[in-house]
Amino acid sequence: MSIAVYPGSFDPITLGHLNIIRRSASLFDMLLVCVMINSSKMPLFSSEERVELIEKTTERFPNVKVELCESLLVDYMKNKGAKVIIKGLRAVSDFDWEFQIALVNRKLDPSIETLFMPSGEKYTYLSSSVVKEMARYGADLQTFVPVEIIEDVQKKIHIERRR
């Protein structure tokens, strides 16, 4: 069975992320969407909430499973029997960073490969940071996040404002 892992912070999941998930799920027997902890970011949603939001949006993909990872990605992959990391790229600047991380992962485990997938052209501008900023200003989120989670994002932003 071919297993790939799509890691990220997904705070929140965007239509760009969902595009990568859909395309990756068609290439592998199983795609594990792995919610990672990024110590350099202050997330809007808790890790558990992010898992729930992704599960809501990926129910239609029978070979996609969403999990939280609190370890090194290569250790998680070894435990799951996965050999491929999926990374979406929006621009050349994404490649610079992701290439360095791919080399580190290969150094940690030479059997792991990284597959870089270019973003769907209509999502190259899209990031979770953009989504959060647009939500804070009350923008229509239909072109940013899956419809299943628009209300969740709006509620979370409303709670954040009240603090």
Is 158 a residue of the active site?
no
Q: Is the dihedral of CA 10, 160, 59, 123 positive or negative?
A: negative
- Which is catalytic among the residues 17, 50, 87, 156? 17
Distance in angstroms (rounded) separating the CA atoms of residues 100 and 163: 38
C-alpha distances out from residue 2 to 29, 35, 50, 158, Å: 5, 20, 25, 41
Instruction: Please tell me the number of Cα atoms within 13 Å of 44 on its side-chain side.
Output: 23
Which of the following is catalytic: 41, 136, 155, 158? 41
Asked if 17 is an active-site residue, the reply is: yes
Check if 90 is active-site.
yes
Close Cβ partners of 102 (under 8 Å, ≥ 6 residues apart): 85, 87, 114, 116
Catalytic member of 9, 90, 106, 127: 90
Told to judge if 60 belongs to the known catalytic residues of this protein, a careful annotator would answer no
Give me the catalytic one of 24, 50, 119, 128.
Answer: 128
Catalytic machinery residues = 17, 41, 90, 128
